[in-house]
Chain A
Amino acid sequence: MRILLIEDEQALREQLQSQLSTEGYVVDAAADGEEGLYFAREYPCDLAIVDLGLPDMSGMEVIQQLRKEGCSFPVLILTAMGRWQDKVEGLEAGADDYLVKPFQYEELLARSRALLRRASGWTQSTLSCGPLKLDLNRQEVTVNGQPVELTAFEYKLLEYFVMHAGEVLSKARLTDQLYAQDFERDSNTIEVFIGRLRKKIDPDGNIEPIQTIRGRGYKFMLARDEG
């Protein structure tokens, strides 16, 4: 999953970027609205975390611009202004949720996960597709009730597949979800990760969760159990 973070305060920006990266998210961190809009135009984004009090271009204007340009990903606003009037104005500008500064990192993470989940049409924090279950809070995966050990990258890849079940995902799109813009990209890496995921989730080849669509990419085949 790729998160766009727009926060002008360097210490907080770097801290959040580091913490979210540890969680396995690819984070594009921008110090102002212009840079943030550039990232949003250049890279596929699943969630934006926007500080309202930005220099030059306010967070509210950034959100309005994003929506105007057709970006439909969820937006979480960070605001130092705790008044309801400010929250409502932020939400009316196009945001989906708000968090008043100072906040606990756990709360930011929980709200970000909820927004990502909701954007993919899931209503509960455990995503269930037939024999495969993915607990977003605990970041645990089970197949037929048996826990499956995955690395952080493998988990993030699977989570992205489940969130976009039924969609054809190109290699480039999957690469963007796993690597930040300044990383060296190797086109074989995704194939290697998908090969490992298939082995771990479906060692006997019974459920075949990820199908290769020749020349186009991959598709998660297991149907959702709910929402």
Chain B
Amino acid sequence: MAQQYSIRWRLLLSAALMLVVFMGVTGWALDRAYQHSERISLNERLETRVYALMAVADLDKRGQLSMPERLTDERFNLPGSGLVAQINADSEALWQSASLMKDIPQLPESSLGELVIVDQANSAHDWFVASFRVAWEYAANQSRQLDFVVAEDQVFYAQKVANFRWQLVLWLGIATGVLLVLLLMMLHWALKPLNRVAVDIAQIESGVSNVLEEDYPKELLPLTKNINGMIAQARQQQERYRNALADLAHSLKTPLAVMQSSIQEGDEQKLIKVADEQTRRMRETVDYHLQRASTAGRGVLRKPIKIRPQLERLAESLNKVYAGQQIQLSIDISDEQAWPIDSGDLFELAGNLMDNAMKWAGSQVKVSVNSKDNFSCLVFEDDGSGVSESDIEKVLARGGRSDETVPGQGIGLAVVQDILAAYDGKLKIKRSELGGAKFVACFGFGG
């Protein structure tokens, strides 16, 4: 079976993945934006320095270049500062700044009056270079072409970018960590009710409490209500088992006592008769109590089942058993009729009542439904002799107290009444329009 990760782990993992992706994209975008802005600023600086160089340069009347001893920007005066300047004429260097220690790479030819900037960082160019070609007029109708070149070592730019990247990673990492901690705290808080359910259920298992409390968030209330329903159902079932066992033990003692007293009397003929009667009684008692214990009863999550197919199966079976009696059995129930009842309970209840009707019927048995208020009833009618008014109470009472039932009397009806009681329902006996008895088995739920 695949490993089942906890909800907390799933949420944390997905949020962490999302954070990592988000932070990665953010870091990349910020890096790109920073480099772009830094490059623009670098180009502007180079351009300004070219103009500043032009401002301090001069040509005398013979066309000779003159430059001051020191330039205003100290980096031009400091060897190895990374900022250099050069003035060329006809590809020959006329002047170089003190900071220049190695040659500035050859620039592409530029037109007169055009500023050329090379800012591609690659191995061929380890300088960012700006060059401006001008025609300098030093006398009337006398001019000279000069290239003013300013360059900055890429190392400085690369260091700047690396610094920025380090800071970016550091702060994004801190932000991710803080967000993850916040997320953990949020998850802990959000999942707290689920943990509480687990703890509460453990307490129910250990017998500390009986039910789950009602103060859960509304999303969990349907779940806790259903769990409470199932707990109540399990308790009822347990109670039924316990009662059935106690009643079984109690009701087996009487026939055992009767047989024991017959053994003591020593009359063999009488003993055989008593043993026969009492074993039959014990058998019916065992049947009844086992059936009672296995009644499923009303369940909170019971899926409604269609009742007609079940009743039809029963009817076909009973038609076989009563084949010799030519009884017409009709089921007047729609195909769509579905009730939240256990299939075994329905079989047991309908089996007993249908069998009863077939047994007493003259030629006709009818099964129908009748639902009103909060009751759904199955109605079994026959055209037999029926049950007289005076006997109805007796029949129902005998069924209701079946641990005292004598052989052959009302075990089936006792089972029916117990099943109905498990569904908060009841059994009624009336006179049928067909002429015989009408058994109305009502379940405590709306149809």
Contacts and interface: CB of A to CB of B under 8 A. Distances in A.
Contacts of A96: 320-321, 323
Interface string A61-95: 00000000000000000000011110110011001
B348 A123 contact: no
Nearest to B326: A123
A85 B347 CA distance: 6
23 contacts: A82-B290, A83-B291, A83-B344, A84-B348, A84-B350, A85-B344, A85-B347, A87-B351, A88-B317, A91-B316, A91-B317, A91-B321, A92-B316, A92-B317, A95-B320, A96-B320, A96-B321, A100-B287, A102-B283, A104-B280, A118-B323, A123-B324, A123-B326
A163 to B, nearest CB: 15
A104 B350 CA distance: 25
A114 interface: yes
B277 to A, nearest CB: 11
Given A96-B320, A97-B320, A97-B321, A82 B287 contact: yes
A114 B324 contact: yes
B324 A91 contact: no
A98 interface: yes
Nearest to A125: B324
Contacts of B287: 82, 100
B352 A98 contact: no
Given A84-B348, A85-B343, A98 B316 contact: no
A55 to B, nearest CB: 23
B285 to A, nearest CB: 12
Contacts of A91: 316-317, 320-321
Interface of B: 279-280, 283, 287, 290-291, 294, 313-314, 316-317, 320-321, 323-324, 326, 343-344, 347-348, 350-352
B283 to A, nearest CB: 6
Given A92-B313, A102-B283, A84 B320 contact: no
Contacts of B280: 104
Contacts of B290: 82
B286 to A, nearest CB: 9
A95 B318 CA distance: 11
A100 B288 CA distance: 13
Nearest to B411: A82
Contacts of B316: 91-92
Contacts of A114: 324
A79 to B, nearest CB: 12
Interface in A107-148: 114, 117-118, 123
Nearest to B323: A118
A91 B322 CA distance: 12
Contacts of A97: 320-321
A168 B69 CA distance: 147
Given A96-B321, A118-B324, 5 more contacts: A84-B351, A87-B317, A117-B324, A123-B324, A123-B326
Contacts of A98: 321
Contacts of A100: 287
A88 to B, nearest CB: 5
Contact of A88 (B294, B313, B323, B326): B313
B347 A83 contact: yes
A84 B294 CA distance: 13
Contacts of A85: 343-344, 347-348
A65 to B, nearest CB: 19
Contacts of A95: 320
Contacts of A117: 324
B348 A83 contact: yes
B118 to A, nearest CB: 93
Which 6 pairs from chain A and chain B are nearest by CB? A84-B351, A91-B317, A84-B347, A85-B347, A88-B317, A82-B287
A83 B352 CA distance: 10
Nearest to A124: B324
A88 B321 contact: no
A100 B411 CA distance: 14
In this complex, which of A91, A92, A95, A102 has the most chain B Cβ atoms within 10 angstroms of its Cβ? A91
Nearest to B325: A123
A84 B314 contact: yes
A82 B254 CA distance: 23
Contacts of B347: 83-85, 88
Contacts of B283: 102
Contacts of A87: 317, 351
A92 B326 CA distance: 20
Nearest to A98: B321
A117 to B, nearest CB: 8
A207 to B, nearest CB: 28
A97 B283 CA distance: 20
A172 B317 CA distance: 36
Nearest to A84: B351
A98 to B, nearest CB: 7
Contacts of A83: 291, 294, 344, 347-348
B36 to A, nearest CB: 80
B21 to A, nearest CB: 58
Given A88-B313, A88-B351, A82 B321 contact: no
Tell me which of A83, A84, A102 has the highest count of chain B C-beta atoms within 10 A of its own C-beta: A84
B114 to A, nearest CB: 101
Contacts of B294: 83
B171 to A, nearest CB: 71
A10 to B, nearest CB: 21
B291 A82 contact: yes
Contacts of B317: 87-88, 91-92
A74 to B, nearest CB: 10
Nearest to A100: B287
Contacts of B324: 114, 117-118, 123
Contacts of B279: 102
A117 B324 CA distance: 9
A91 B320 CA distance: 8
Contacts of B352: 84
A206 B184 CA distance: 108
